[in-house]
Amino acid sequence: MSASSVKWIFQYIGVGAVLLVLQATVGRLVAIENVQPDFLLIWIIFVALRRGQLSAVTIGSLAGLVTDLASGEFLGVGVLAKATAGFLSGFFYRSNQIAQSLGSPWFLGIVFLVGIVHNVIFFFFYLQGTHIGFWTSFRVLGILSAVYTTAFAAIPNIVYRRRYEEWGELSE
Amino acid sequence: MGRWLRFIRHHREFFAYGVVVLVSFLLMSLNTNPQIQQIRTMTAVALGALEHIVSWVPNPISLARENELLRQKNMELADEVNRLRSAALENARLRSLIGLKEEAPHRYLAARVVGRSLDVLRNTLTLDVGISDGVAPGMAVVNGDGLVGRIISASHNYAIASLIPSREFRAAVCDQRSRIEGILKWSGEDINQCLMMNVSKTLDVKVGDVVETSRYSALFPQGIKVGVIEHVENDPASLFHRITVRTFVDFNRLEEVFVYLVSPPSNVFSGIRASGTAIP
């Protein structure tokens, strides 16, 4: 593994840690009826479009494990949901169109789609063995959460759109 | 061998994802394992400390609203205290007449909420009290408005509480007016809305009745207010009412809570943790 690879791995984990703190602080402030935007999910999709599938699966499983541990209950479901989100969004990775992907409106579509899939997996496994109906819960909380996360994904989207317009494509 | 290695290398993304899926299923199946619970408790210490550091960030909107609510509540409570004082005197006089024993006062420990779960659907709180303060898994958590939830794990200085709106929460409750018993669980939609289950259609429940914890509850002390009945629906396909309860506690705004310092019988709480379906 090259020194630059190690550098970006630590950078990405560092940014993930900062986003985790933001999720625990700012996430609470902007919550609507207890539904927060999922900053970590945006980060995983960003990593997938910036670095590819393998990096996104790695970052996704780490982020999922941390959120599982932070909640103190039902370990594993966050790992599965977030790793799957990274895996799926990795299919949209284009090594020669990174800034273009991150700055295009498609980015928001990817966040919404992956957010829905993430929530389907999370709700399905999390509600197993309970009396709470999957659809009852998902139609309100699952969809609202995906929409709200997509709205916040507009921030990196706008940044990368401007960056692409001014500086052109990023190197891998 | 070399061909296999090349194949794996060529499809490494799929293999990595496959490994993560297997690990996640393994973790899900080991959730009640004591070692896993030990790891969760240790993590609660580390994350509790981290969340404590960042919990100073204020929420001005919530603070303004809380101030307004507290002023209003202060007025209501002052009025209620006056009425309760005279009722307590009358109660003591009547108890002495019929020879009833005094009930022991409940012991509560104040705790600050230093963190909340990071996912939608998971509703847990990290509290800044732990085993060193006498907190143990299974203890009830309340605030001035009513029942909040129960402690699910505790470390030396921090504890994690599961709220009423969570997947495994059940509580034996009753209608304060008619004393009809039922089981309370989260509806899975609105965070401040629950369902009161197993109440036969022949029994007397009305919209507006207050719901409180039952005397049959092994986990919670009797008489803690939970909420008010919002809807009573008659499903023709069921023998039971579909009763919707609006909780008194607003779970979107929890800053301080109290832990009821009495542990439930250990077999009751371990049974709930193991199966996730036992009724407390």
| Residue B210: both structure tokens together | 């207050």
| Residue B146: both structure tokens together | 């009513």
- Mean pLDDT, rounded, of chain B: 82
Q: How far is A163 from chain B (nearest CA, A)?
A: 29
- Count CB neighbours of B191 within 10 A: 24
User: Which 21-40 residues of chain A touch chain B by CB within 8 A?
Assistant: 21, 23-29, 31, 33-36, 38, 40
Cα distances from B271 to residues A122, A152, B122, B218, B266, in angstroms, run: 25, 41, 21, 12, 8
Residue A154 lies in a domain: yes
Task: Check if B193 contacts A (Cβ < 8 Å).
Answer: no
Task: Check if A84 contacts B (Cβ < 8 Å).
Answer: yes
Q: Return the CATH number at A21.
A: 1.10.1760.20
B14-69 pLDDT tens trace: 999 999 999 999 988 887 777 777 777 777 667 777 777 766 666 666 677 777 77
Residue A172 lies in a domain: no
Residue A133 is classified by DSSP as -
Task: Check if B274 contacts A (Cβ < 8 Å).
Answer: no
User: Which 22-41 residues of chain B touch chain A by CB within 8 A?
Assistant: 23-31, 36, 39-40
Nearest partner of B245 among B179, B198, B197, B203, judged by Cα: B197
Residue A96 is classified by DSSP as T
Q: Are B152 and B119 in contact (CB under 8 A)?
A: no
| Residue B104: both structure tokens together | 């022991």
3-state secondary structure of A122: helix
| Residue A9: both structure tokens together | 């791995």
Task: Check if B179 contacts A (Cβ < 8 Å).
Answer: no
pLDDT value at residue B57: 63
pTM for this prediction:
0.78
pLDDT value at residue A11: 86
- Count CB neighbours of B198 within 10 A: 13
Nearest CB to A131; choose among B21, B27, B185:
B185
- Report the alpha-carbon distance of residue B53 to residue A7 in Å, rounded: 27
Asked if pLDDT for residue B275 goes beyond 60, the answer is: no
pLDDT value at residue B117: 77
Q: Which residue type occupies A143? A: I
pLDDT value at residue A129: 81
| Residue B187: both structure tokens together | 């509806």
Q: Are A164 and A103 in contact (CB under 8 A)?
A: yes
Poorest-confidence range of A109-118, B112-121, B195-204? B112-121
Q: Please give the tally of structural domains in chain A.
A: 1
Task: Check if B17 contacts A (Cβ < 8 Å).
Answer: yes
Q: What is the pLDDT along chain A (172 residues), one digit of tens a residue?
A: 567 777 887 888 889 888 888 887 788 778 887 788 999 999 999 999 988 899 999 999 999 998 888 877 788 999 999 999 999 999 999 877 888 888 888 999 999 999 999 999 999 999 888 888 888 889 888 999 999 999 999 999 999 888 888 877 665 5
Task: pLDDT band for B84, please (50, 70, 90 cuts).
Answer: confident
Task: pLDDT band for B280, please (50, 70, 90 cuts).
Answer: very low
**Full residue range of the structural domain in which residue A45 is found:** 3-93+101-167
Q: Beta strands of chain B (E only): which ranges?
A: 108-116, 124-127, 140-143, 146-154, 159-163, 171-175, 181-186, 193-197, 210-213, 225-234, 241-247, 256-260
Considering chain B, what percentage of its residues have pLDDT values greater than 90? 24
Greater model confidence, B196 or B35: B196
